[in-house]
Amino acid sequence: MSTYDPAALECLAAIVEEGGFERAAQRLNVTQSAVSQRLRALEAQVGSVLIVRSRPLRPTSAGQLL
- Residue 29 is predicted with a pLDDT of 97
Among left, alpha and beta (phi > 0; psi -120 to 50; other), residue 59 is beta
Whole-angstrom distance, CA of residue 34 vs CA of residue 64: 21
For the stretch 20-60, pLDDT in tens is 999 999 999 999 999 999 999 999 999 999 999 888 888 88
pLDDT at 5 over 60: yes
Enumerate the H helices of 1-66 as residue ranges. Answer: 6-18, 21-28, 32-46, 61-65
pTM of this structure: 0.88
- Residue 32 is predicted with a pLDDT of 96
pLDDT at 14 over 80: yes
CATH number for the domain whose boundaries are 6-65 = 1.10.10.10
- Residue 1 is predicted with a pLDDT of 52
